[in-house]
Amino acid sequence: VATPSSTLRELLQAYGERVERALDERLPSANTHPAILHDGMRYAVLAGGKRIRPFLVYAAGTALGASAARLDGPACAVELIHTYSLVHDDLPAMDDDDLRRGRATCHKVYGEGVAILVGDALQTQAFHVLAHDPTLVDDPRARLRMIETLSYASGSRGMCGGQAIDLAAAGQQLNLAELEDMHIHKTGALIRASVLLGAYSARAPETVVEDLDHYAKCIGLAFQIQDDILDVTGETQALGKQAGADAAHNKPTFPGLLGLSVARERAAELVEDAVARLRDLDEAADPLRWVARYIVERGH
Ligand code: IPE
Ligand code: IPE
Ligand code: MG
Ligand code: MG
Ligand code: MG
């Protein structure tokens, strides 16, 4: 009998493989001129990773009746933005990390200059994928809305803004509201956009979009709370990135402010709030319910 967790594991694997192929098709080959840049882009993107954001695109879209083929472009776009954010997040001028997804960070292999350009090029590639996607020719409104949503979520009022708050916060004390604001921007915004792009692919009615948006805001914050928790409790090997990096850089975090058990409670409450908001959706939305719980139960 399929339990939710075995089913989720299978689905994560299946959508993970699907988006891996879709990304491979949408990235220039490693010997395309200039080869160093394209090789670096492929190194950063095709390096594993949990592919949670693409999963959310597929789970939200299929919950509302979209085909997986229609979700490939948006799933790739969010993962390209996410990977760009990781490449830049790891740079010496930011978190200065040597390990990402179980291997050397992009700048360690290609140098800082190329890693900056890899991030820049992945970012613009994300928007090219959405603008170019042939499955959206019948729905220019959805295409434009996706570009609008993803650009806002990635920019100064979304992820980039959150990263600017994070940079300024190193060594500072933030209160709970300030910490939540940082997390909602640096991580929540892109997770929210992932769910919304899935919903737009399916031409969901606005009331459903509002419910999914509430779900997505809750799990987006919970995701970064769990990331902070894992930085304390996880092992470098399992995480595929340096454990204890937040403390080493004096970053304000949820477990730092509230302690581990209150941070865990806060993340769990957010997930329950998220799942409650899916009450009007049928069992086609179960993957959204399962992945919400996975986000706070995951060990890496
Ligand atoms: C790490 O994201 C960075 C954050 C925004 C917390 P993930 O934990 O999704 O990293 P990958 O994609 O699986 O490597
Ligand atoms: C990541 O926050 C936020 C973005 C990459 C936008 P972290 O700096 O905590 O992510 P990790 O822990 O390095 O993956
Ligand atoms: Mg960071
Ligand atoms: Mg970091
Ligand atoms: Mg972290």
Look at residue 1 in the predicted model and tell me its pLDDT: 54
CB of 20 within 6 A of ligand 2: the answer is no
Ligand 1 atom at shortest distance from the alpha carbon of 82: 12
Find out whether 118 and 40 touch, Cβ atoms under 8 Å. Answer: yes
Distance between terminal CA atoms of the chain?
A: 26
Closest ligand to Cα 182: 2
Q: Give the residue, by CA position, lying nearest to ligand 1 atom 11.
A: 49
Q: Where are the alpha helices (DSSP H) in the chain?
A: 4-26, 35-45, 52-63, 68-89, 106-110, 112-132, 140-154, 159-169, 176-183, 189-201, 206-233, 236-239, 245-248, 254-258, 260-276, 286-297
Look at residue 7 in the predicted model and tell me its pLDDT: 93
CB of 154 within 6 A of ligand 2: the answer is no
CB of 39 within 6 A of ligand 2: the answer is no
Q: Which residues surround ligand 3, an ion (CB under 5 A)?
A: 89, 95
Rounded Cα–Cα distance for residues 68 and 62 (Å): 7
Q: Which residues surround ligand 5, an ion (CB under 5 A)?
A: 227
CB of 241 within 6 A of ligand 2: the answer is yes
Which residues in the chain show pLDDT less than 70?
Answer: 1-3
Ligand 1 pocket test target in 20, 45, 223, 291 with most atoms within 8 Å of CB:
223
Residues within a 6 A CB radius of ligand 1: 49-50, 52, 82, 101, 187, 224, 227
> DSSP 3-state assignment of 33?
coil
Find out whether 291 and 56 touch, Cβ atoms under 8 Å. Answer: yes
Ligand 1 pocket test target in 88, 227, 294 with most atoms within 8 Å of CB:
227
CB of 242 within 6 A of ligand 2: the answer is no
Find out whether 130 and 74 touch, Cβ atoms under 8 Å. Answer: yes
Distance 88 CA to ligand 3 centre (A): 9
Closest ligand to Cα 224: 1
Distance 229 CA to ligand 5 centre (A): 9
Look at residue 47 in the predicted model and tell me its pLDDT: 81
